Amino acid sequence: MKYVVADDQPAMAMLVERLLKSARGPIADEIHAVRSSERLFDVLIATEASADIVILDPAIAGLKRIALVRALRQRCPPARLIVYASDDSPFLAARIIAEGVSGYVLKTSPTRLLLQAIQHVRAGDTFCDPRIDFGRANADPWSSLTPKQQRVCVSILHHGSIGRIAEREGKAYDTIWTHWTKAKKALGIRHEAELAKYFYEKGLMHLLDD
């Protein structure tokens, strides 16, 4: 069984490597460690280092989060992915799981959960850290917005101007303004600065990666 540990924090990568090496039974035959998404793809593409399981920090240097997982699924489909993340956002976890990862574990959880995830994935199953509170995401006002209202909020943080968004998307100014007004009311915010704060506090920053 070959592993790639992808984490740009040396101490964390070392912890995962030691966990794999010290685990009871022949859990790891070969372990490669990388510190950037670019190096990760280099290692996975090399035939002699093709991995069975990738243990991945989605915030690693280079391509990140959803885009990174999506690229891994497209370019290296045989590899099974376990995300080992610092970010406990249920919104982020749900998006990454939807991209087809086999496991999702928080770095703040006991390391035994990572070992459990590895064992489940080795057996062909999936594993999700029980500390990820998906109910919190479902109950959040963000989940009550329509897809169009959500897209306008993301565009506001990207472009900052209703007029600029309307011009870029070829939509009427009043249409964009209506979506933005309804979104502000639902989220309990008044302006763009509060929207940025809301995204940060609620774990929605990954939406700005797209």
pLDDT digits (tens, 9 = 90+) for 2-58: 899 999 999 999 999 888 887 655 566 788 899 999 999 988 887 555 678 999 999
- Taking the alpha carbons at both ends of the chain, their separation in whole angstroms is 34
**Phi/psi of residue 108, each to 5°?**
-85, -5
The strands making up 53-56's β-sheet, listed across from edge to edge, are 30-34, 2-6, 53-56, 80-85, 103-106, 127-128
pLDDT of residue 153: 97
Assign a CATH topology to domain 140-209.
Arc Repressor Mutant, subunit A (1.10.10)
pLDDT of residue 28: 60
CA angle 121, 75, 55 (to 5 degrees): 35
CATH number of the 2-136 domain: 3.40.50.2300
Tell me how far apart the alpha carbons of residues 55 and 105 are, in angstroms, rounded to a whole number. 10
Q: Which residues of the chain have pLDDT under 50?
A: none
Tell me how far apart the alpha carbons of residues 71 and 42 are, in angstroms, rounded to a whole number. 13
5 contacts 35 by C-beta, under 8 angstroms: no
- At how many degrees (to 10) do helices 147-159 and 173-187 cross? 100
Enumerate the CATH 1.10.10.10 domain ranges in the chain, comma separated. 140-209
Token output for 53:
């399981």
94 contacts 126 by C-beta, under 8 angstroms: no
91 contacts 203 by C-beta, under 8 angstroms: yes
**Phi/psi of residue 35, each to 5°?**
-120, 10
Enumerate the CATH 3.40.50.2300 domain ranges in the chain, comma separated. 2-136
Query: 22-36: per-residue pLDDT in tens?
Result: 765 556 678 889 999
pLDDT of residue 21: 82
Residue where the block lists tokens 């006002």: 141
